[in-house]
Structure 1
Amino acid sequence: MMTLAWLCAGTPLAHADDQPSTNERWVVLGGDIAETLTALGAEANVIARDDTVLYPPAMADLPSVGYLRQLSAESVLSVQPDRVLAAEHAGPKEVLEQLTAVGVAIDIIAAPNTLEAIPAKVRAVAQQINRQREGERLAVSLTAKLERLAALPALPPTRAMFVMQHSGLTPRVAGSGTAAHTALEAVGLENAFSAMQGYHNVGAEALAKEAPELIIMSQRGLDALSGETALWQLPGMALTPAGQAQRLIPIDDQALLGFGPRAPDQLLALRQQVEALLTAPTTARVNQ
């Protein structure tokens, strides 16, 4: 009987010597794992995914088996998979154990939610599907991009606010301990809301107090808000330097914050956008 394997990025993997059959049916759980399979040219075996897989579009069009953290064995088994390749947050654990009990191979790629872990995650997935050569090339390329980002000169001190979405009349903002906080630091920005942990809604008083000079916002959140004009009209936004100068950079949050193979390029692009915005004679939205 096949077993549930927890696979740490950078460590030997359970099925590394087993060449996957071209007829194997895979379910992918986690946007970062889906992006990695695609970057390795191994997406052909994927027949279903979870709701967090939004890229590439062809994979997003596949049947969904539910939300990453709230799966059911029945939903996964309905697509008749041979193997499940999953991010470490997939679950519940009891569902994964049920799938294992009926003979589905469950391979969970465990990696810290850090930029430095991206190349190791790529190597882990590549070894698991016997694409080590492709995985090594990709990992080396991603490492070089992250090193290039880290070597860039410091920006002028700039307080930024990362908005994932809005709830009513208050934006939902990233504090410390979030992927968004990591991204802000990686491009050389100071998180104006680093004193709080996680994502929280912030009101007009907090916006005025923390005085962000630049807003980085999920494009999906901006669309849900009905656009940039609505953002600047939120209570308290006009009291911030960012609101007064209308400094906004919309981003693809899954590409940037998923810590998959697209993240280094997204970070380098964001850094360029920040530099352009800070040096522009008049400040405004920087398009992607």
Structure 2
Amino acid sequence: MPTRLASRVFAAITLGWLLAGAPLAHADERWIVLGGDIAATLAALDADANVVARDDTVLYPPQMAALPSVGYLRQLSAESVLSLQPDRVLAAGHAGPQEVLEQLAAVGVTVETINAPPTLDAIADKVRTVGRLTGRSEEGDALASELDQKLERLARLPPLPPTRAMFILQHSGLTPRVAGSDTAAHTALEAISLENAFAAMAGYQSVGAEALAKQAPELVIMSQRGLNALGGEAALWQLPGMALTPAGREQQLIVIDDQALLGFGPRAPDQLLTLRQAAEDLLGAPTTAQVSP
């Protein structure tokens, strides 16, 4: 059967199976998860018992991160996936190449692709979808409702004092790579009422001392992994141009879990509330954010 035809047949079978309601997995089924957000969702729904492998982006939970990897999410090979003898693959929408997923389906592997836009509003739908695909619709609906409530609570919080923030994703030598618009980090900053100092640029870009001084961020947000790679907080403040910024002069830093925050999985709402609380504490704003209701 040609690959394209197999893909169409598979899509039709999958749709019918979803409409009928997903059965519980057989105990001996072998699953591979592709995408950190999908892995975190499986764990949150207690639906990860059948997972035997993952891709390189799956760093949470620890027991799943310890499983064999089939490679990078966007550069998979059918050989690496099939070497783990999976019965089912649960993949984030940006997993690929698509040809590889079609090859897996053509040889009988059930490939479930969970397509969701990279937005906070899509988190609950993603959770519900994974719940249906794993026979945990009730648990998925309950978790989705809880996550929506947290995001709604975040949206109702009063604005923070006007503050220009810089989100450093990583660094390259002495040049930080920061988040502009059209990024998950920009969405996160907006969600907690911080202004992205580099919103005028698109995507993640490296910025030098002149740009830092010009945009004058008052607050730096960075992951612990990124900070460790840089050499610690002292090294951050020594980056060229950082001393010319209000953030550098006052050493205003918030350290976050970027995997939990930027993957738009089930951990994102709590991480946003934690980030909002940290910003309130640092800026001396009234305490309004709580991680637990």
Could you say which TM-score interval applies, normalised by the shorter chain?
A: over 0.9
Alignment deviations for residues 128-178 of structure 1 (CA, whole Å, 9 cap, x no partner) = 111011001100100000001000001111000000111011100000000
Q: Residue 18 of structure 2 aligns with which residue?
A: 13
Residue 286 (structure 1) aligns with: none
Aligned-residue CA RMSD in angstroms? 1.5
State which of 166, 190, 197 in structure 1 corresponds to 2:195: 190
Partner SS, residue 171 of structure 1: strand
**Structure 1 residue 24: Cα displacement:** 1.0
CA distance in 2, matches of 1:71, 1:215: 34
Q: Quick one: distance in 2 between partners of 1:176 and 1:266?
A: 20
1:15 positional shift: 7.1
Instruction: Find the counterpart in structure 2 of residue 50 from structure 1.
Output: 55
Which of 244, 250, 253 is the aligned partner of 2:255? 250
Residue correspondences, number: 275
**Correspondences of 1:14-29 after superposition (within 5 Å):** 16-29=21-34
Pairwise CA distance, 1:18: 3.4
Provide the C-alpha distance between the structure 2 equivalents of 1:185 and 1:223, rounded to a whole number of angstroms: 26
* Other-structure match for 1:214: 219
For each residue in 1:12-47, what CA deviation from the matched residue of structure 2 results, as whole angstroms up to 9, or x when unmatched? Answer: 936734332122110000000000000000110000
Mapped to 2, the partners of 1:66 and 1:187 lie a distance apart of: 34
Q: 1:276 to 1:4 in 2, by over 3 A?
A: farther
Q: Distance in 2 between matches of 1:187 and 1:47?
A: 37
Q: Secondary structure at the match of 1:100?
A: helix
Indicate the SS of the match to 2:18: coil
| Residues 1:59 and 2:64 are matched in the alignment | yes
CA contact (8 A) 1:5 1:108 kept: no
Q: Following TM superposition, by how much is the alpha carbon of 1:233 offset from its aligned partner in structure 2, in angstroms?
A: 0.3
Indicate whether 1:264 and 2:280 are aligned: no
In structure 2, C-alpha distance between the alignment counterparts of 1:49 and 1:156, rounded to whole Å: 42
**What's the counterpart of residue 172 of structure 2?**
167
Aligned to 1:69: 74
In terms of fraction of residues, the more helix-rich structure is 2
Tell me the residue number matched to 1:123.
128
Does residue 275 in structure 1 map to residue 280 in structure 2? yes
Instruction: Measure how far apart 1:50 and its partner are.
Output: 0.2
Question: Deviation string for 1:56-82 (max 9, x for gaps)?
Answer: 000000000000000000000000000
Corresponding residue number in structure 2 for 1:81: 86
**Matched residue, 2:183:** 178
How high is the TM-score relative to the length of structure 2?
0.91
Q: Which runs of 5+ in 2 are unaligned?
A: 1-5, 286-293
| Structure 1 counterpart SS, 2:153 | helix
Unmatched 5+ stretches in structure 1 = 7-11, 281-288
Q: What residue in structure 2 maps to residue 237 of structure 1?
A: 242
Give the equivalent residue in structure 1 for 2:3: none
| Percent of aligned pairs with the same amino acid | 72
Which AA in structure 2 matches 1:248? Answer: L
CA contact (8 A) 2:168 2:176 kept: yes
Distance 1:249 1:215 in 2: 6
2:45 paired with 1:40 = yes
Residue in structure 1 matched with residue 159 of structure 2 by the alignment: 154
Q: Distance in 1 between matches of 2:272 and 2:33?
A: 25
| TM-score normalised by length of structure 1 | 0.93
Return closer, same or farther for 1:251/1:4 CA change in 2, 3 Å cut-off: farther
Task: Letter of the 1:259 partner, please give it.
Answer: F
